[in-house]
Amino acid sequence: MDLYGKDLICTQEWSMDELWAVLDLAAKMKRDRFSPRWRNILQGRTFLMFFYNPSVRTRISFETAATELGGHAQFLEPRAMRLKTEKTAGETVEDAAKVMSRYAAGLGIRILEDKIPRYGAGDELIREYARWADIPVINMADDKFHPCQGLADVMGWMEWLGKGVGKPLDPEAIRGKKLLITWGHGALARSWCSVQEALLIGSRFGMHVTLAYPEGYDLDPEVIEQVKANCEANGTTFEIVHDPVSGYEGAHVVYSRHWMSPQAYRDGVFHKEEEIEKAMRYPEWICDEEKMARTANAIFTHPMPVDRGHEATDAVASGPRSCIYDVAENRLHVQKAIMALTMGNL
């Protein structure tokens, strides 16, 4: 599978064979983490990490991945660079991308809801860098998609519903299983990227998908149409429900996370406090033990950070069927695999 030089902006844009190449290699790297065969894949090469937004898992996992592949990850912030914006003069995306391409083996960009004036602007910026760059551009989370998280998610679900954590992956372990993605009330005003990526990749791998949320919290209609098409192609079901309980029936994977409403952006402004105040009116939308008891012994999944007490109770998030830490660890392994395949000497 030749993925050298390929951008990763959304998993929907990669073939199933390409996605499986990443997951299969990630599982091998996880089982044999410090093997000498991985140690020189990025030897002498630099991966640039361009952070508009801070993170815990993303920065640590990418820096660790580069180190374990024998390379180096360099942290960049826009405020430390003279970049052109709508309000300031500076270097264009074309010039910055072309210069970065002369220095590095790959470029990762993270830009989320509070750094953009409207939905889609972050994704557009990453695609503009990909247009001009001569090196692979990796989406480290934008306002629409989060491909590395989606791959880590599905890897964790295959482990838990398959042969076990750290064992070889079997895509049949999740095929035909029910994935519930349910809105959770919370105080973080989160973007749509993680839930939309989970919907897309879960449906690509043949899961039945139920999406639950209160009226007024619709996701991107184009993404929803893609999910429907994925399910139709796999002969699986897709449904939307607007109550906080019914979706749990028969679920095998429960993903409870808050996301903002389509009204979060107005007049070029992200209304964060208004979104938080509105979301806190729905305390019944929490993943708790009573709801989990309605499932088919489901695992609880979340990309983290978990808004405990709002999106999920401690008893669920830290319970025996929670895979959140395994999924978080898998960020490291899928990113190692992505970097090795797209920019490494593998």
Place of tokens 């482990």: 159
Give which of 182, 174, 175 is closest to 211, Cα–Cα.
182
Per-10-residue mean pLDDT for the chain, 346 residues long?
95 98 98 96 97 92 98 91 66 93 98 94 96 98 98 98 95 98 93 98 98 98 98 98 98 98 95 95 97 98 96 98 98 98 88
Q: For residue 301, give the nearest of 220, 176, 199 by alpha carbon.
A: 199
Side-chain half-sphere exposure of 292, counting CA atoms within 13 A: 23
- CA gap 341, 169 in Å, rounded: 18
Question: Does residue 305 have a cis peptide bond before it, meaning omega lies within 30 degrees of 0?
Answer: yes
Query: What single-letter DSSP state applies at residue 289?
Result: H
Judge whether 151 and 26 are in contact, CB under 8 Å: yes
Structure tokens at 285: 């939308």
Note every long-range contact of 281-284, with CB atoms under 8 Å and residues 24 or more positions apart, other chains counting. 281/185, 282/183, 282/185, 282/214, 282/244, 283/185, 284/185, 284/244
pLDDT of residue 91: 87
Q: Per the confidence metrics, is the pTM higher than 0.85? A: yes
pLDDT of residue 144: 98
Beta strands in 91-152 (DSSP E): 106-110, 137-139
Residue 243 confidence (pLDDT): 98
What domains can be seen in the chain, in order of their start residue? 11-144+329-343 (3.40.50.1370), 149-328 (3.40.50.1370)
Residue 297 has what pLDDT?
98
Residue from 216, 307, 222 nearest 258 by CA: 307
E strands, the chain, where?
Answer: 46-51, 72-76, 106-110, 137-139, 178-183, 208-212, 238-241, 253-257, 265-266, 269-270, 299-301
